[in-house]
Homo-oligomer: A and B are copies of this chain.
Amino acid sequence: MTLTLDDLASMSGVSRATISRVLNGGSVAPRTRARVEAVLAETGYSPNRAARSLASGRSGVVGVVMHLEPSLLFVDPYFSGLLQGMSDVLAERATGMMLWLGNRSKQETLTDIQRMGLVDGLIVTAHWLDDPLVDGLLASPIPTVLIGHRREDHTASYVDVDNVEAARSVVQHLVDTGRTRIAHISGIPGSVAGEDRLVGYRVGMADAGLPTEGLVVTGDFNAPSGADAVPRLLERGVDAIFCANDATASGALEALQAAGVTVPDDVALVGFDDLDFASRLDPPLTTIRQQVPTQGAEAARALLNLLDTPDGGPRRVLLPTELVIRQSTIGASDR
């Protein structure tokens, strides 16, 4: 039952090459094409991937490298959102997707992918500014699109959200609602998101002519680091805290309330990510919403693009975000 081009050729009275042209969109006379397509439909033929790869040098499969704790893959909606977006786009082009998770050493992952030799290109999550795995992948000849970016690298293709602009818009919102002592509990130093959001914060503060001395505390994207930072910030006198993500904000919120501070009356609070729980906090959290599936989709598109026209130079996409204003910054009384 496994048909070959030769079978189809004899069935439709044309040569093998013509069938191939019909399949790959070559130029074929309309009548001939119709006849061949009829046979194609009738037989339900589907080409042998291996033979096609061998002859063409392309596999029709792209790799996705997510070097993270596998336990986070489905727990953190971020990664499943990315996968969702990617697979939608790739499916349109009948392109397969292979997934590498980060449960092995980086070097192993790298050689694995190269030895495997069955991907035409890669999409790689790059959440750390400095990551040997990513450096290795970029150095290899495999066309690669990053999700996140490399600060110093202007040759790599990437898709990222505009963390800087998002953070700046948070600060502006706080300034617009009358806050002046605006603190930032940062993400992990060395992480793309952490550093960019910090930069955006500084830009926003500078734009407003506000000081930042003593108002930045280093966090780690987790709730406890948010809670820890609160006492120090209260000592210094703040009327707003912008946290590097929602988890940090939830920890900060708990600590603020434990200290008898009212949000937002005494201190406004902002997160980043708009995870599910953000709207269910009390008060609901003002935060930044990212279109995560869109990020995955754009990365897939960028890669397909790169594969189609290898000489076109790097693709760089910076996606906008959305400020979601809730009661943690404006309260009921401001309305």
Residue of B nearest to A73 (CB): B80
User: What's the Cα separation between A46 and B104 when bound, in Å?
Assistant: 20
Is residue A115 within 8 Å, beta carbon to beta carbon, of the partner chain?
A: yes
The verdict on A112 contacting chain B, using a C-beta distance below 8 Å, is yes
Flag A101-130 by CB within 8 Å of B: 1 or 0 each: 101100010001011111000000000000
A28 at the interface (CB under 8 A from B): no
Chain B contacts for A94, CB-based, 8 A: 112, 115
Q: Distance in Å from the Cβ of A46 to the closest Cβ of chain B?
A: 4
Instruction: Say whether A88 faces chain B, with CB atoms less than 8 Å apart.
Output: yes
Cβ of A171 under 8 Å from chain B: no
Q: Is A91 part of the contact surface with B, judged by Cβ < 8 Å?
A: yes
CA distance A118 to B115 in the complex (A): 17
B-chain residues with CB within 8 Å of residue A79 when the two chains form the complex: 73-74
Instruction: Indicate the size class of the contact surface on chain A.
Output: 35 or more
Residue of B nearest to A276 (CB): B74
Whether a CB of chain B sits under 8 angstroms from the CB of A61 is yes
A20 within 8 A of B: no
Q: How far is the CA of A79 from the CA of B84 in the complex (A)?
A: 15
Copies per assembly = 2
Q: Nearest chain-B residue to A108 (Cβ)?
A: B91
Q: How far is the CB of A124 from chain B (nearest CB, A)?
A: 16
64-100 of chain A: CB within 8 A of chain B: 70-81, 83-84, 87-88, 91, 94, 96-100
Q: Does A212 contact B (CB under 8 A)?
A: no
A232 on the B face (CB < 8 A): no
B96 touching A118, Cβ below 8 Å: yes
A53 interfacial contact with B, CB 8 Å: yes
Report Cα–Cα, A97/B112, bound state, in Å. Answer: 12
In the bound complex, do residue A83 and residue B98 qualify as a contact, i.e. CB atoms below 8 Å apart?
no
User: Are B96 and A97 closer than 8 Å at their CB atoms?
Assistant: no
